[in-house]
Amino acid sequence: MALTNKIGVIVDSFRVGVSEGLKKAKAVGADGVQLYAVSGETDPANLTPSARNELKAYIRELGLDFSALCGDTVKLNGRH
């Protein structure tokens, strides 16, 4: 019986920035990626609507899917 589960990787684990990390995810054969939307390049406060669309388009262009998007609910609730 063959497994049909898709494999995702945490982009930050490559420690090369988001764009290069996405390329590396594709290079290692991942189907999807997990991004941290907490700080830095992928912090929602740092991404304009057009930048979000560009990021989504780039991920699709590489043939990848989002396997997870991690956020900081404590920060969202004003407790951070």
Could you tell me the pLDDT band of residue 62, with boundaries at 50, 70 and 90?
Answer: very high
- Residue ranges covered by each domain of the chain: 8-76
pLDDT tens for each residue of 27-41:
999 999 999 888 888
Q: Going edge to edge, which strands form the sheet with 8-10?
A: 8-10, 32-36, 65-70
Mean of pLDDT over the chain:
87
pTM above 0.75, yes or no: yes
CB 8 within 8 A of CB 1: no
Q: Which two tokens stand for residue 28?
A: 């290692």
Percent of the chain exceeding pLDDT 90 equals 54
pLDDT tens for each residue of 14-29:
999 999 999 999 999 9
